[in-house]
Amino acid sequence: MGLYVFLAILSVYIFISLLLLPLQYRFLKALKEEEAKNRAKGKSQGELYDNMNAGELALQENIQGNPLFFLANILASIMYKWKHPKQKKFC
């Protein structure tokens, strides 16, 4: 009985993570683009977060640190790395 409850909860968690995956991917993509813009301006990642207002920082913390989004964050990161591989530079 306990195994069925565990499997049901796990199934619901995986289903929710798959529903959240497109949102997390878009968020990660926008964050990487913003970091690239700031890097082009010569700003560090810390300065990016220093320039955010309190609402944006709270949203950022919730999206990245909420345990409900853990699996969706990992899957979105894998998906982003797969779709955007680093370009190798030849000298």
Which structure tokens are listed for 16?
A: 């929710």
Q: Where are the alpha helices (DSSP H) in 41-69?
A: 45-50, 54-65
Q: E strands within 2-88?
A: none
CA distance 34 to 48: 8
Q: What is the CA radius of gyration of the chain?
A: 17
What would the pLDDT profile of 12-38 be if each residue is shown by its tens digit? 999 999 999 999 999 999 888 988 888
CA distance 19 to 21: 6
Whether 87 shows a pLDDT value over 80: the answer reads no
CA distance 88 to 91: 10
Give the residue extent of every domain in the chain: 11-74
Q: What is this structure's pTM?
A: 0.76
